[in-house]
Structure 1
């Protein structure tokens, strides 16, 4: 048995995407942080964007933002989820986990995570176009699967007091009405094609969160005191699972190597756990901004993460100094790992939705074309040399290249081809977003660890 670590915890869920989960989870974190509680926040699933808002919401005065880690029973693994929740319970007064998509969507789903760790579920329902059906929907979420703890239900985008009364009247007695947030455009977090706009891109991001927290404070949910939150207590210490020692991490095959990481509004899809993994492998990390006109800092390897190169194509195209630095870097046989948006900028041309064409950096032959519809979405895994690297794919562009893939990812439980992995010299690129801790050995190899070191690890 693990140590007893009781802490109030809640999973904020919804019947579908777009209901307001992130707004409510962020408002709840902001509200209790302002009241002096230490709030730990997590994101269920592989999402990169919601964590920007969740992290900002939980910043305590005078302290730096804490990274919001992903919890996913498949991608990050059950033992990793347990370890992160256990660590949070040691210092937090409240743990908030934002769900993904609808409560029961996906395999594994947010409900699976909630049941595995006995997390009470707070359901957020966009009630803007319903009345009595609200109760039926809440009842279904609460009772569809057995063994799910229930925190209550919050109505979002409500027209007014009379509308709220009708919604509450339609609930069964055990639904636990937690109030209503009125329809207010100022409380909505802005979106674009891959999800929410990053909090760091908006000058008024903190003010938006404060406004949402103020609105939530007027609801029964927002009026819950620290003592009231004890109804959500979970023994997160009892959920401990043994994490087997990783011999690759212990050997630190990237020790003495510097990895340059692109990080700005165009390259922002970065798991905090991936940075931790590189450091655990021994790497020294340096960050640079292609959008700011930075050249490549002195380094042994480069990571170009995903993001929004299509929104910044002119500025990226104009950074010819970085283009030339990368070309010289690859010519010297030094490693580059490029994911999704990081791969897109390496092709010769990017064709935007408005018909404009932009010259990119040309390290990969071919073109990228933006699409109006989603081109790929879902879990992916990459198997190489007896190792499996887990992750996902999510993109609105397609690529055309004469390069033959060196490998392809697959969906879990399927041999069907997923994303191509392209190789030219020391450069590896794919639409595949990797969660590095799932295979430190492959990650070390992609970032240039010597094969002799890999064999010894």
Structure 2
């Protein structure tokens, strides 16, 4: 039986228009009104979902037809619709950017797009942009639009004067400090590093309420689907230590959900604060900001010794992006200061002035195709030869994958549910056979 629930894809003409904060403020506004708000993020992103979870009070999952798969997109939305009063999906980049784009996801889910447009510096041209959104793809529904960063009530009137007749100006948000969250080189500042995030979200929600954005969007029909099939217990009884602190925090909820569903025991620890690993059979060093904490990591020699002993014992380790950087002998931060880190991989990871990797990637082994993405501003100089390379979904480019003594390390971030058997093999320390490698490469 289908369920009717208000739902929209919040999008923009481009990045930097304010859609992340508008999504978070809308979630908090309706949460404060007593509604259950479920929020999703289109595509690979760790930082926005952290803020959206604080705003909504509920877990935030990724939806991406290629990375997570169309079926997973459908059943996650169907599951949320069972008891949600409102569903918000934050888009990525511009509405029609990428493959699949936010527009593609909106069409797949059967929900309308709600553009948020930075209207500072424009007037009637706003209407031309909205007309383009509404007419560019006839299969995409656009009923409403939000003007962001307006200068005055008269500014809002000018914006609405040339709107297409069938499009409503849902609200016009004035410039306000409450609508800003500090950013750094990879995105928003992490919520754990912000002392006043809850108050800022409440203030932002009030700004939206005063802008007339407290009304619910139109309900849409969400098809009811059977829950996803429970995965095999491929990690039954396997204890996995997971680094989680200010330096290592880029973890998809769907990834830990899968590990638990496959029977793993998860034990979190802090490489910054703890002196040794918890008892574990495998170790996961996810991405994050080790470059901001190089001095603290270097100072915690007891933890580095514990991780090296774990590696020398031949126990499985997965190191992703920031985890890879910390596994090098040295880490050079943004100021060029060099720190001694875990020392599992010979060489130095060094920050760069520009992005060194960006895009959707996949990694194939005999156990399956693991899909995910890469997004980093550092590079690794090492004498190790890659055991394999990722394949970029669109265009040229790849990421090296190192695999020695049960350590699998790369700048590639994997979305675990895309290849459960592959992920289980990594954490069980099984040999990985890649198309461009031999058994010797993975010994």
TM tier, shorter chain? over 0.9
Instruction: Give the alignment of 1:55-454 within 5 angstroms.
Output: 55-59=53-57, 66-222=58-214, 224=215, 229=216, 232-237=218-223, 240=225, 245=229, 249-250=231-232, 252-385=233-366, 387-412=368-393, 416-448=396-428
Contact 2:18 2:148 in 1 (8 A): yes
CA distance in 2, matches of 1:351, 1:21: 33
Q: Is the 8 A contact 1:82 1:241 kept in 2?
A: no
Spell out, residue by residue over 1:306-353, the C-alpha distance to the aligned partner (whole angstroms, 9 max, x if none). 000011111111111111111111111110000000110010111122
Q: Distance in 2 between matches of 1:449 and 1:362?
A: 20
Cα displacement (A) at 1:149? 1.6
CA deviation after TM superposition for structure 1 residue 360, in Å: 1.3
Instruction: Give the paired residue count.
Output: 432
Compared CA separation, residues 292 and 152, structure 1 to 2 (3 A): same
**Secondary structure of the equivalent of 1:18?**
coil
Worse-superposed segment, 288-297 or 397-406? 288-297
Question: Aligned to 1:447, what secondary structure does the other structure show?
Answer: helix
- Check the 8 A contact 1:7/1:236 in 2, yes or no: yes
TM-score by length of 2: 0.94
Deviation at 1:257, TM superposition (A): 1.1
Distance 2:168 2:398 in 1: 43
CA distance in structure 2 between the aligned counterparts of 1:294 and 1:439, rounded to whole angstroms: 33
Conserved? CA contact 1:41–1:58, under 8 Å? yes
CA distance in 1, matches of 2:246, 2:148: 30
The correspondence for 1:12, drawn from 10, 13, 19, is 10
Shift of 1:417: 4.8
- Distance of aligned partners of 1:274 and 1:386 in 2 relative to their CA distance in 1, 3 Å threshold: closer
CA contact (8 A) 2:22 2:179 kept: no
Gaps of 5+ in 2: 432-443
The secondary structure found in structure 1 opposite 2:249 is: coil
Match of 1:47, SS state, is coil
- In structure 2, how many angstroms separate the alpha carbons of the residues matched to 1:450 and 1:186? 50
Distance 1:322 1:435, change over 3 A: same
Aligned residue for 1:23, secondary structure, equals helix
Is the contact made by 2:360 and 2:394 (CA closer than 8 Å) also made in structure 1? Answer: no
Checking the alignment, whether the CA contact within 8 Å between 1:253 and 1:449 is kept in structure 2 is: no
Against the structure 1 CA distance between its residues 127 and 264, is the aligned structure 2 distance closer, same or farther, given a 3 Å change threshold?
Answer: same
TM-score scaled by structure 1? 0.91
Aligned residues of 1:261 and 1:285 also touching (Cα < 8 A): yes
Equivalent in 34, 48, 51 of residue 50 of structure 1? 48
- CA distance in 1 between counterparts of 2:143 and 2:344 reads 52
Distance, in Å, in 1 between the alignment partners of 2:394 and 2:353 is: 29
The Cα offsets for residues 202-221 of structure 1, whole Å up to 9 and x where unpaired, read as 01001111111000001232
CA distance in 1, matches of 2:164, 2:7: 24
Per mean C-alpha deviation after superposition, the further-off stretch among 260-269 and 350-359 is 350-359
Matched, 1:33 2:31: yes
Q: Give the 3 Å change call, closer, same or farther, for CA 114–9 of structure 1 in structure 2.
A: same
Distance 1:399 1:439 in 2: 26
What root-mean-square deviation, in Å, do the aligned CA atoms of Structure 1 and Structure 2 show? 1.7
Other structure's SS at 1:365 match: strand
Q: Secondary structure at the match of 1:150?
A: coil
| 1:62 aligned residue | none
Q: Which moved more, 1:69-78 or 1:319-328?
A: 319-328
Q: Determine the C-alpha separation between the residues in 2 that align with 1:318 and 1:71.
A: 39
Q: Report Cα offsets for 1:206-248 as digits up to 9, x if no partner.
A: 11111110000012322x1xxxx3x52222125x4895x57xx
- Residues 357-410 of structure 1 show CA distances to partners (whole Å, capped at 9, x for unaligned) of 111111100111101111111000001115100000000001111100011100
What secondary structure sits across from 2:166 in the alignment? Answer: helix
Aligned residue for 1:154, secondary structure, equals strand
How big is each residue's C-alpha offset from its partner over 1:109-160, in whole Å with a ceiling of 9 and x where there is no partner?
0000111111121110011121121111111112111111223111111112
